[in-house]
Amino acid sequence: MDNRKITIRQTSNSDLEDVLDINRQAFGEEDVAGLVDGLLKDATAQPLLSLLALIEDKPAGYILFTRATLEGQTDQPGIQILAPLAIKPEFQKQGIGGKLIEEGISQLKKSGTELVFVLGHETYYPRHGFIPDAKSMGFPATYPIPEKNKDAWMIYPLVKDALNGTSGKVICADFMNRPEYWRE
């Protein structure tokens, strides 16, 4: 990362086109932009955390955390799922994704979130505190993850003892509850 100014802030309704454009460019397809648009409108995804990274006031990256629950738990811990993390191609490999994760985790800790899950690249996310193979710790994903990709389903405990006595299948927001969103 050079000396250009990076700003990370919560999104507003006026940022929607920039957010969708970042996701289209980062993933080269409409599917992820559609996921973001759907999650932002999904009441079951609330509370959510939607952050935009700007470099010299130009939209560069985006991260979204949405509410999740544990199946069969009456006393629900605060849980979020990170999906997606998107960086425009010209801004990739400059540390922006890591800064978005760091800021998101910081804000989620302050809000009382206890656990964050991600289905993502199994060498990238552990560098930012995620622990691979969340299923082995008692947290299967909404849809089964193939054994060869088990390390892609990860957990980040935000509070001490968050894993003690807590387990269950992770249930995502309604809009994300489709098998096509559960492949890595």
Q: What is the pLDDT of residue 162?
A: 84
Residue range 149-168, pLDDT digits in tens? 999 999 999 998 888 888 99
**How much is the average pLDDT of 117-140?**
97
CATH code of the domain covering residue 114: 3.40.630.30
In a domain, 1, yes or no: no
Domain count, the chain: 1
The answer as to whether 134 is a domain residue is: yes
Q: Is residue 106 part of a domain?
A: yes
Pairwise CA distance, residues 100 & 91, whole Å? 13
DSSP state at residue 144: P
Give the pLDDT of residue 128: 98
Is 27 part of a structural domain of the chain? yes
Query: Please, which pLDDT band fits residue 2 given cuts at 50, 70 and 90?
Result: low
Buried b / exposed e across 80-101, counting CB within 10 Å, b at 16+?
bbbbbbbbbeebeebebbebbb
Average pLDDT, integer, range 79-101: 97
Across the range 128-153, mean pLDDT stands at 95
* Distance (Å, whole) CA 26 – CA 60: 10
Domain membership of residue 54 as a residue range: 6-181
Rounded distance between C-alpha atoms, residue 111 and residue 36, angstroms: 22
